[in-house]
Amino acid sequence: MSLSATPALSGPTGSLLTLIGKTPMVEVTRIDTGKCRLFLKLESQNPGGSIKDRIALSMIAAAEREGWLKPGGTIVEATAGNTGLALTLVGQAKGYKVLLVIPDKMSKEKIQHLRAMGADVRLTRSDVPHGHPEYYTDMAERLAQQIPGGFYVNQFANDANSQAHFDTTGPEIWEQMGGDVGGFVAGIGSGGTITGIARYLKSVGSNAQIILADPVGSTLAGIVNEGVPGPEGSYTVEGIGQNFVPDTADMDLIDTAYSIPDAEAIATVRELLLKEGVLAGSSSGTLIAAALRWCREQTEAKTCVTFVCDTGAKYLSKVYNDAWLADQGLGERELHGDLSDLITRKYADGAVVSATPDDTLDTVFKRMRGADVSQLPIIQDGRLVGIIDESDIVHVMNTDEITRQERFKKAAGTVMTRDLDTVQVNEPLDALIPLFDRDRVAIVLDGDRFVGLITRTDLINHLSLNR
């Protein structure tokens, strides 16, 4: 491999669009890769933070050339978020409006990012199949037809999608690796990445094995390995996996596929951050987990290339949030067969946001708001002595005896509820129902020791995960 020891710096540019592509490559050195060497192309370094910047630039340029997109037009697309961010980046730079249809399972960071950039975001259901009127691609196509000057990008059947990777990503990989690519791993969201790069590698005579990384629950790995769609199910990884073959995907180019469970993908991406310092998104976990499986199966030394598709900063509330993982049943938790199994934030683990009786209501409210909770336990000398919820604060605020500033200075101990509804950790689930009927949160004790809180949502989530 002939890699440049020092990256070349370019001069200033007048547009972020000129910075799309030419992303760096880094080798994985602190994770076991067997006899192989694993390289990650850091597509998270694109201006929009993902590999989708490449196809957005390509698809919009093609639409302009072919007359489908005219000045003042509206770009409409169905996206898991990253294509939407890329289309908004490119579209606004070119003066277009952008309307995006996004499944409701996408991370809130992506949705907030899109809205902050000025995109018109429409959320739709993620629990319906392709062909349903509320499936995100079907809805986007319908909206594009209804909007004057609307252009439905349709990354799933847009030739400029795969062409972007044939023209840019593939050649970059080949050059950076000095023509030494033994295995190439990618997922299928729209299908453009794996198709365009596989075609390029074959066009230059490469014998690289083309490997599909697919979430468990997506049907595509089955088509590659067995010739029939795999079992369909739900998964939390965003941006890859489908229950249909996109028109852009050329499945005949793929040699083998790995089905990666959510838990393995998330564990891999968190290990990548811990050991390699790379903050990557959830789909990157699927890709890297598949690449590691392939590398460890090889009996001779080879090189393997895959992607950090986007930055993990878009998934801090999900993949890198222990409480969210526990809610999804994906965290590594020791189960005890009692009510503590319903508690995702345990006091003994330091996960409970609390206050002391001497803290002010201002402090209590800020902690509640920061943790997105509606009640806060009050702890003194390690013991639970009371609880404050939103109604307690409202009651104090709804008085004219003192100024509002003085009200927020009141000590939590003077406002908290001391008459606590507690249950012992070894009581049955049914013991929670009377508390919820009285609109209370369940305070769980082990003898006199405070364990944590259980809300209605915690109970519903537990029942959903343990059907």
Q: Please choose, from the candidates 71, 230, 217, 227, the residue with its C-alpha nearest in 3D space to the C-alpha of residue 151.
A: 71
Residue 51, classed as helix, strand or coil, is: coil
- Return the residue matching tokens 């439905």: 152
Q: What pLDDT is attached to residue 439? A: 82
Q: Please choose, from the candidates 236, 461, 444, the residue with its C-alpha nearest in 3D space to the C-alpha of residue 327.
A: 461
The string over 177-204, giving b where at least 16 C-beta atoms fall within 10 Å of a residue's C-beta and e elsewhere, is: beeebbbbbbbbbbbbbbbbbbbbbeee
CA dist 119 and 106 (Å) reads 16
Q: What pLDDT is attached to residue 400? A: 64
CA dist 183 and 29 (Å) reads 17
Helical H segments across 25-169, by residue range: 52-65, 82-93, 108-116, 136-146, 159-164
Q: What pLDDT is attached to residue 382? A: 83
Q: Number of H helices and number of E strands within the chain?
A: 16, 15
As annotated, the active-site residues are 52, 283
CB of 237 closer than 8 Å to CB of 217: no
Q: What pLDDT is attached to residue 204? A: 98
- Burial-class residue 402 by CB neighbours within 10 Å (0-12, 13-18, 19+): exposed
Give the pLDDT of the chain (467 residues) as one tens digit per residue: 545 556 667 789 889 999 999 999 999 999 999 999 999 999 999 999 999 999 999 999 999 999 999 999 999 999 877 899 999 999 999 999 999 999 887 778 888 889 999 999 999 888 887 788 888 889 999 999 999 999 999 999 999 999 999 999 999 999 999 999 999 999 999 999 999 999 999 999 999 999 999 999 999 999 999 999 999 998 889 889 998 999 999 999 999 999 999 999 999 999 999 999 999 999 999 999 999 999 999 999 999 999 999 999 988 888 888 777 777 777 666 677 888 888 878 888 888 899 999 999 999 999 988 888 888 999 998 889 999 988 888 888 776 667 778 888 889 999 898 888 889 999 998 889 988 888 888 899 998 889 988 888 888 888 877 76
How is residue 411 written in tokens? 């000590």
Q: What pLDDT is attached to residue 7? A: 61
Q: What pLDDT is attached to residue 220? A: 97
CB of 236 closer than 8 Å to CB of 216: no
- Return the residue matching tokens 């998934």: 315
Close Cβ partners of 387 (under 8 Å, ≥ 6 residues apart): 375, 376, 377, 378, 416, 417, 420, 441, 443
CB of 240 closer than 8 Å to CB of 289: no
CB of 155 closer than 8 Å to CB of 190: yes
Q: Please choose, from the candidates 291, 311, 286, the residue with its C-alpha nearest in 3D space to the C-alpha of residue 303.
A: 291
Q: How many residues are recorded in the chain?
A: 467
DSSP 8-state code for residue 255: -
Q: What pLDDT is attached to residue 4? A: 53
Edge-to-edge, what's the strand order for the sheet holding 74-78?
Answer: 120-124, 97-103, 74-78, 150-152
CB of 278 closer than 8 Å to CB of 25: no
